[in-house]
Structure 1
Amino acid sequence: MSTPKRILPWLFLLVVAPLFVAACAEPGEPGEEGEGEGESEALADRVSLTADAAESLELTFARAEVMELRPTLEVPAEVVAVPDRLAEIGARVSGRVVDVRVNTGDEVDRRAPLLTIESAELGRAWADLLSARARERVALRARDRQRTLLNGRVTSVRAFEEAQSAWEVAEADVRGALTRLASVGIADPGEPPENPARVTLYSPIEGTVTARSVNVGQWVEPADILLRVVDLDELWLEAAVYEQQLRYVHAGQRVQVEMRAFPEAVFVGEVDRVSGVLDEASRSAGVRVVLPNPDRRLRPGMFATARIQGTLPGEARTLVVVPWAAVQDINGSPTVFLRAGEGTFEVRRVITGRRAGDFVEILTGLEEGDEVVADGSFLLKGQLLRATLAEEEEG
């Protein structure tokens, strides 16, 4: 089983921790001398890294810049499967499951075999077809014989018509048997298989098995949903917008999406449809966002926060902004890591304002051109807290 992604940063910190040194001494107070060249020292409100540590973290940087931010509408949302990209697999006959070839999380191709069921009903349907085909062949030969005799004036017209009628009835029986087989999933039967009582169910779409509720030996009925296959390459995000805000939302707007499962990632979608019906209880209308999912990280049922850009009324504001990923909450205060030198980062408290998409406005604490850590600030925060706890234990 792979390690969940949300704890990977903490495991990473444990690996590279020996490369870090962080302390909370007063400015200008020297730290302990290292034993060799290239070791780092910690100053007040600073985190210093060795060259190896900095390279291992793969930090990215961004400069505080002046940008025009437009207001956004923030709403809770949930990821759902696209109905046309979802298939629920069930048996068409009652029977017992003898083989299940997939499990939850497996990726399957279209027409991939999923499971096999053994059914007495299916066996009887095959038997009916074989009997009907035999009777039809006998009736056809009898009709042809009567036609030959009629042409030689050896038999009567009535005898020929009776043979013709018997053949038509036998042919109808064949069609009826074929229909019964088609109703249980055998659309074009040729010769019966080695075990006519067994039928294999196939996936109608390419996708991922997201649910399995069947085991070998289980008795199933036609109403049972045994497997669910979903094409995860594209999903929908369903949100609700209150009626007083509906006039600001329309199809085509860009949407920034944050998932509780992936707090450090931002996904981008687009408003596809705004419902024309208002929910009487909540006084809100549904909003559908199309959300590409090429790496298949997202799953139906995940909760999210959707920020629909350029929606709320108000003038756009021109302020200093940084990427949202650069801001970390440390002891209740928004904080950034300001690049103070090669491998040295100042812990700078800031006051944030409104957020718009990937950016957040900085009211105080930074000036235009200041360089901060963007991706990787979460790891620096973890190391700072770890070093603080270590000092408290020593004290």
Structure 2
Amino acid sequence: MKSININSIYICIFSFSILISCNNTPSEKVAEVESNETAHEDIVALTSAQSQNAGIELGHIEKKQISGTIKVNGVLDVPPQQLVSISVPLGGFLKNTTLLQGSRVKKGQVIATIENLDFIQIQQDYLEAKSQLELAKVDYERQQELAKENVNSQKVLQQAKSNYTIWEAKHNALREKLRVINIDAKSVEDGNIRSSINLYSPIEGYVTQVNVNIGKYVNPTDVLFEIVDTEHLHAELIVFEKDVPRLRIGQKLRFTLANETKERMATVYLIGREISTDRTIRIHCHIDEEDKEFLPGMYLTGLVETGSTQVPALPDDAIISYQGKKYIFIASEEKEENHESSDPTQGDPHNEESKNFRMVEIETSNSELGFTEVSVPDSIGNSAVVIKGAYVLLSKMKNSEEEGGHAH
């Protein structure tokens, strides 16, 4: 009985081991297959005959002389000296204006009339100061003559001089105030007292803002109008920090405006010296041919020409676009034997050595004369690159994936 029990135990253990083995094997095989599928999803294999039929040619990354450019965005802008904000030196009511947005004005043209009773007071104070100054001057000159004859004291002479100096300062200050508010002092001296003043345009250009209406009271801090001289707009561009070392004053900019296809030229004039929080700088370019139809704020895109340099490059045919990214195929060192035929002696064309090609993501830059500047992973090293037939490999790879298998 004891022997029978021991045998029964051995049988149970053996059966349990077989059961565990059966349960584990499929899972391990599935995991292994999935791992192989993932590892080879970027690889496609072709036999020598298939490579020849597909026109596959191999080459290497070469150094090429390619003219460099920097892609930029920006706007047409106005230099500060060509954008004028019109305000009044003293507050008042807007009595008259004919300006509208887009109106063209000439330098010195009357653009508005401001009315305020305080203007009358300033003119009155000026006339009083002028009269008192004349009296003080006469008195001072008389005291000087008396002092020469020792008729008056030195104290009286000093008082006369002080009075004359005070009225001279008041007269000059009020005269300057009249000039600032565009009232002619000589006209006031002739008795022409005004309650309103004219505002004149300091430049020739176009009105871009009208912030007032007739009858509105305006303060000295209010901006009534903005006038822009569009004769000499410049291009203000945004350049990323990584491209700054390639910029030089005098480089050419080829740009187009958002509303046209005509290519225009400009020259880099100033390079900013401050990097913004978004890691960009601003550069200013003078437009080679001015256009009166230009408007401040027009959006533009362009290329700054940075000159020719030796860079790693590949033929354009070697680079493929897929799902918004750039790729190349490199020849893998791994090779496979295809054993689809059950009889290796039959000379089946499938029973020949295959070569693997691996798809690798890259970055591209400037292109010229059929070559494109590339940046590739260091792991590629000096591997051979497919320079012709790359799209055939991509097509085969994607067809194999759709059929449910990998590229083999």
What is the identity, as a one-letter code, of the residue corresponding to 1:291?
I
Equivalences for residues 1-395 of structure 1 within 5 A: 70-145=67-142, 159=156, 161-182=158-179, 184-186=180-182, 189-192=185-188, 194-261=192-259, 263-279=260-276, 281-292=277-288, 294-310=290-306, 314=311
Query: Is contact 1:255–1:309 with CA below 8 Å preserved after alignment?
Result: yes
Offset at 1:105?
A: 2.2
In structure 2, relative to structure 1, the CA distance for the partners of 1:144 and 1:264 (3 Å cut) is: same
Task: Provide the C-alpha distance between the structure 1 equivalents of 2:283 and 2:267, rounded to a whole number of angstroms.
Answer: 10
Q: Which digits, 9 at most, give the CA deviation of each residue in 1:177-224, with x for residues without a partner?
A: 224334x43486223284523221222222222222222212111111
What is the identity, as a one-letter code, of the residue corresponding to 1:133?
K
Offset at 1:289?
A: 1.6
What is the identity, as a one-letter code, of the residue corresponding to 1:264?
T
Query: For 2:273, what is the secondary structure of its paired residue?
Result: strand
What is the identity, as a one-letter code, of the residue corresponding to 2:240?
Y
The alignment-based identity, stated in percent, is: 23
Task: Provide the C-alpha distance between the structure 2 equivalents of 1:91 and 1:111, rounded to a whole number of angstroms.
Answer: 16
Identify the structure with the greater helix proportion: 2
What is the identity, as a one-letter code, of the residue corresponding to 1:285?
I
Task: Provide the C-alpha distance between the structure 2 equivalents of 1:215 and 1:111, rounded to a whole number of angstroms.
Answer: 21
Return 263-272 or 189-198, whichever deviates more.
189-198
Task: Provide the C-alpha distance between the structure 2 equivalents of 1:158 and 1:82, rounded to a whole number of angstroms.
Answer: 58
| Contiguous gaps of at least 5 residues in structure 2 | 1-64, 317-363, 371-408
Task: Provide the C-alpha distance between the structure 1 equivalents of 2:223 and 2:269, rounded to a whole number of angstroms.
Answer: 30
Q: TM-score, normalised by structure 1?
A: 0.56
Aligned CA RMSD, in angstroms, stands at 3.7
Task: Provide the C-alpha distance between the structure 2 equivalents of 1:158 and 1:287, rounded to a whole number of angstroms.
Answer: 67
Task: Provide the C-alpha distance between the structure 2 equivalents of 1:119 and 1:360, rounded to a whole number of angstroms.
Answer: 71
Matched residue count: 258
Task: Provide the C-alpha distance between the structure 1 equivalents of 2:258 and 2:86, rounded to a whole number of angstroms.
Answer: 30
What is the identity, as a one-letter code, of the residue corresponding to 2:292?
R
Query: For 2:274, what is the secondary structure of its paired residue?
Result: strand
Offset at 1:130?
A: 0.9
In structure 2, relative to structure 1, the CA distance for the partners of 1:242 and 1:311 (3 Å cut) is: farther
What is the identity, as a one-letter code, of the residue corresponding to 1:105?
G
Q: Computing the radius of gyration over CA atoms, which structure comes out larger, 1 or 2?
A: 2
In structure 2, relative to structure 1, the CA distance for the partners of 1:229 and 1:360 (3 Å cut) is: farther
Query: Is contact 1:232–1:293 with CA below 8 Å preserved after alignment?
Result: no
Task: Provide the C-alpha distance between the structure 1 equivalents of 2:177 and 2:108, rounded to a whole number of angstroms.
Answer: 22
Query: Is contact 1:249–1:311 with CA below 8 Å preserved after alignment?
Result: no
Offset at 1:139?
A: 2.8
Q: Which digits, 9 at most, give the CA deviation of each residue in 1:289-320, with x for residues without a partner?
A: 2225633111111111122124686489999x
In structure 2, relative to structure 1, the CA distance for the partners of 1:300 and 1:160 (3 Å cut) is: same
Query: Is contact 1:245–1:312 with CA below 8 Å preserved after alignment?
Result: no
In structure 2, relative to structure 1, the CA distance for the partners of 1:156 and 1:100 (3 Å cut) is: same
What is the identity, as a one-letter code, of the residue corresponding to 2:293?
R
